[in-house]
């Protein structure tokens, strides 16, 4: 299983599945990160957290722990 936190800067991926439960999963979905969406990794902070991605035409910063719950291909 490959997750979003493993994608390098400049890489793209398609979301396959969201893991996690309850409020965390709902928050991720509310930001537009849903199954089938294409994501592009723009930047990673110097210490590795957070990760800045482009999804559905806008920039979004996600925690590394949240990115680990997003399965990609």
Q: What are 36-69's pLDDT values in tens digits?
A: 999 999 999 998 889 999 999 999 999 999 999 9
CATH number at residue 68: 2.30.30.90
pLDDT for res 43:
94
> Which residue segment(s) compose the domain that 68 sits in?
2-72
Average pLDDT over residues 10-17: 94
Q: Enter the tokens of residue 43.
A: 């930047």
Question: How many domains is the chain built from?
Answer: 1
**pLDDT confidence bin for 35, thresholds 50/70/90:** very high
Is residue 70 within 8 Å of 7, Cβ to Cβ?
Answer: no
> Is 90 exceeded by the pLDDT of residue 14?
yes
């Amino acid at each position: 299983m490959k997750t979003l936190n493993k994608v390098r800067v400049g890489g793209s991926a398609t979301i396959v599945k969201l893991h996690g439960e309850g409020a965390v999963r709902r928050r991720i979905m509310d930001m537009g990160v849903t199954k089938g969406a294409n994501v592009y990794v723009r930047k990673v902070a110097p210490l590795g957290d957070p990760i800045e991605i482009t999804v559905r035409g806008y920039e979004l910063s996600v925690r590394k722990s949240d990115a680990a719950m997003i399965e990609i291909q």
